[in-house]
Structure formats: structure tokens, C-alpha cells
Structure 1
């Protein structure tokens, strides 16, 4: 088997780079090879697949993906790590197919080579925004397996009506289906985090609407969950004009105006967005019709 990074190698690399993992960048590095191989195995990545990785850090998971025969495009915001990663890979797995993009994943607008899978230990402080951004801007992604904070993972995989169903759940569902795929021990990280971690799997589905509709739907989701204890007719009153207007429009969409956001699917929010678009005069334009910022 190809070599993977262990605790000693990771600390040596960190010392050589003068690196102290920071909470600001969500840096917790996996130091256990068995965990890396478990993640790769669970992801279903096979030889020849093009994988996108975000936040590769010192390269623990990168090496596991390359070991499986994948070619990896890695986005790393920390320039020291981005510059070191190709050297680490060449030392431990000479000739492996790796491309490193030194950038903030939230600002990347495209990824070369049309990767089909996202596999990553995501920085926990920005995991949901990064996921939603990449699913929107890298449409070639058909599947994902990401390690995230347990609370976030449960939200991503939650169904309407669940206690933890929220804005991330509804927005993530726009792109496809999500499910919990395993738990990860705190002890396999350096430094050891003070939160539990889970793996979340994703399969892309057919997009339910176009880009204008997505933006309008997400704006309604934000409004509904910004006041999640209120009924839709109240929670959406600012976005849709008045409480009375919101109630009438939501009802026209076939949705109960006395329901709360946590009871609605992303499809329900889309129906409301379409009802609002239909109620606005064409001269107002799409952005005005949807009350977009």
C-alpha cells in the first residue's frame, strides 16, 4: 500500500512549515490512516475518478484519494499548505495526479476538468456556505462525501418536520438527496476538536428550477427560517409585501399559510416563489418580482 501520513509525519510537516492549526481556518488534521481509508471507501471513489477536495491541509485525505487511483483537484486557502502539498504527494506517491488551486473555496467560480465527486474534511466554520457555493458553481459534481460537525451534518440530512430541519436542509435539498454516512472519532484529529464529526453523503438530483427561481426560493427560505416560530403568513410578510398578501400568495401556491417553514420542502418554497413571479407584472422584472437584494 502507498504511504499515508501518520501523527509523526503530520507534526513534522507542521513544524517545518511553522504551522499552528487555527480555529479561524477550521484546521483540524486527520492523523489516522485507517480513518482516511474509511472515508475514501465510503465515498465510493474509484480509479480514474476526478475528485474535488476542499481544505486538504497537510494532505492526509489527499493521499488516501490518490492511493485509490483518483486524480485530485484540491482547493487550499492557506498558501503555505498549498505550496507544500505537491511536494508531500511527490515524496509519498510519486507521479500521482494532483492539481492544487491556492484560493478561498467560497470565491472559486469554476474548477478545471469537471470533477464528478467532492470528498473533503470541510472547515467546520464555513462548511454549509462552501457546500452550497460549490454545488452551484461546479455542476459536474454528481456526488459528495464530506466530513462536517455533527450538528451541521444532521441538519443537512434532516427531512421537513424534523427538530433540526432548517435553512441549510432546505437549500441543500435543491441540489439532490443527503444522508448520514458514518461517525468519526474526535481522537483521529490533531488538534482534537471539541465537537463530534459525521460523514454526510450526497447524490445530485435534477434541479427543480432555474437560477432566478433558485435565488427567489432561497430568499424565501431565509425569510421563513429567520422567524421559524412564526407562521408563513407572518414570517414571509416582509418578503411578500404584507401579512395579508403573503397569506393569499402562499395559499395560491397550494401551501398552508398557517404552516411554519420547518414543515415545508424546498419544492413548497419553489411553488411560493413561482406564485409570486406569476403575480408580478412582467414589466417589473425578475429581480423585483422576487424581492431579491
Structure 2
């Protein structure tokens, strides 16, 4: 009989004791360098899966599966999971954990030992339709933006990140935490907070709370999404926020070639040259990138 962590399809989810036992069995010592904080609460992983809205024929890309807490919950409801893990020990032992806890589901799992910051869509054994991941705090935003750019088939993304980062990703123009992550995430789709997660559901216990962020990719993008154009837009965004307190006319002088050229391009894009970057939405930066 399955324990209290069993899900609808029969996967026995991991609790605190199981997580520590697996770590000891495999010789795993969580490292800050890799941002390893393992979830050990069954209700939390169920909530993450529910917030992601995945199921049925979805192929989920999971980054940093760790000891398999979220992996097991995902396998219970989706067609397949492609788990990308940078730690060779964790990548090696994840299939064994799934086989032990849910032998009927192990065929749905494919593990790729790789750095998610460098992975390409062609490196994956299947085409993912969704991203669901507990991202390492130290590289969360770069990993998220890289995957959204590299894998256009990701229709939805549900990531758990540091609470402060979640606030930044989902911030609206004019908000004090609105900045580069907010604008760049908005290039790919609509972004919103999807919940909060406390510290006590992790081992080791982190010093800060976490937050869930959901990104729905635009069904029909309102602007070009090819890589050269995206890079052009992101270059403007970086320039605008590099000197956050300056007006856009001054902040974009280097990007445009001069303050006069920056003002001309801002006016052409319908943007007040005396405005600041934090007042512009993603669409405004796109218009600016399209000026000559």
C-alpha cells in the first residue's frame, strides 16, 4: 500500500524522511554552488503541478529535478517528463528513485545530464510543451529566459524562484521592483504570480521564501520573436536599466550613438525622452528597437 504521499496515479511522493534517506543513500550533499534546496512536502509539489495546469498529453521540461520530489508528482499526471540535471550523481540516481517509488511511471521519464543555461532544443529527446521547475536561486532568471528563447514550444512555464525574484518577474511598469527581468519575461508572454512557498518545505532550509511564477506564452506573438530581433530588444532593455535613475534620453545615448540620436529614436517610437525605463512596458521597448 502506498503511503500518505501517494498521488492519484499511485506515485509515492517524497517526505522529509525519504529525502534525507535518499541523500544519504546516494551520497548527496546539497551545495550552495548549485543552489540545491530539495522540496520535501507532498502538498507543495501537488500545488505546483496544479498551478502549472499540466496534464494529459503534455511533455514537461523539469530543470533541476534533484532527488525527484516534483518529478514524481509530474509523472503522475503528464505523458512524459524530460528532466535536465547538472549534477551527475542526481542525474544518475533519479530513474532509480522513480522506479522504486512508481515503477509503472518510470517509462515516462527521460533524464538529460546537462547545464540548463547551455542546453539547446536539439539536445532534448522530446519536444516539451511546458516548463515546470524549482529553479536554483542563483541562476533562476538567466535559465528561465534562456529556455523561453531556446524552446518556443513551451506554451506555459511555472517556476519556483526566490520570492524577491518572483516579484520582479511579475512586476508591472511603475512598480519599484520593475526592471530587466520583468520586461524580458514580458517579451515571451503574460507573467503573473501564482503563489507563495515558505522555507520549511525545503531541505536544507533556505533563508528566504520562494514564489511561484506562471508565464503563458503568447498564442500569437504581437511582435517578431526571431533570435536576432530578440537580442536587439534585449540590448535596448539592458541599456535603459543600466543607468536606472537617468532619463531614457541620457541612458540610451551609448546605445543610440548620442543623446540626440536617442531622443530622435524615442520620439519616433512615441516615447517621452524624459521618461525613465521603469515606466515603459515591453511593447514600448519593442517599438524602440524597431526604430532606425
Deviation, 1:241, is 0.5
Aligned partner of 2:3 in structure 1 is none
Aligned partner of 2:230 in structure 1 is 214
Aligned partner of 1:285 in structure 2 is none
1:80 counterpart (68, 81, 89)? 89
Aligned partner of 2:146 in structure 1 is 133
Aligned partner of 1:254 in structure 2 is 270
Aligned partner of 2:29 in structure 1 is 20
Tell me whether 1:273 sits opposite 2:289 in the alignment.
Answer: yes
- Count of residue pairs the alignment pairs up: 276
| Secondary structure of the corresponding residue to residue 73 of structure 1 | strand
1:195 counterpart (208, 212, 216)? 208
| Secondary structure of the corresponding residue to residue 275 of structure 1 | coil
* Gap regions ≥5 residues in structure 1: 277-293
| Secondary structure of the corresponding residue to residue 191 of structure 2 | strand
Aligned partner of 1:228 in structure 2 is 244
Deviation, 1:69, is 3.8
Tell me whether 1:101 sits opposite 2:117 in the alignment.
Answer: no
Residues 3-26 of structure 1 deviation map (CA, whole Å, 9 limit, x = unaligned): 111111111111122221111111
Aligned partner of 2:69 in structure 1 is 60
Distance in 1, matches of 2:99 and 2:266, equals 57
Q: TM-score scaled by structure 1? A: 0.92
Deviation, 1:212, is 2.1
Q: TM-score scaled by structure 2? A: 0.92
On the 8 A contact 1:47/1:68 being kept in 2, the answer is yes
| Secondary structure of the corresponding residue to residue 291 of structure 2 | helix
Tell me whether 1:39 sits opposite 2:48 in the alignment.
Answer: yes
On the 8 A contact 2:60/2:78 being kept in 1, the answer is no
On the 8 A contact 2:110/2:125 being kept in 1, the answer is no
| Secondary structure of the corresponding residue to residue 95 of structure 1 | helix
* Gap regions ≥5 residues in structure 2: 1-5
Aligned partner of 1:288 in structure 2 is none
Deviation, 1:68, is 1.9
CA RMSD after TM alignment = 1.1
Aligned partner of 2:126 in structure 1 is 113
On the 8 A contact 1:45/1:70 being kept in 2, the answer is no
Distance in 1, matches of 2:125 and 2:155, equals 15
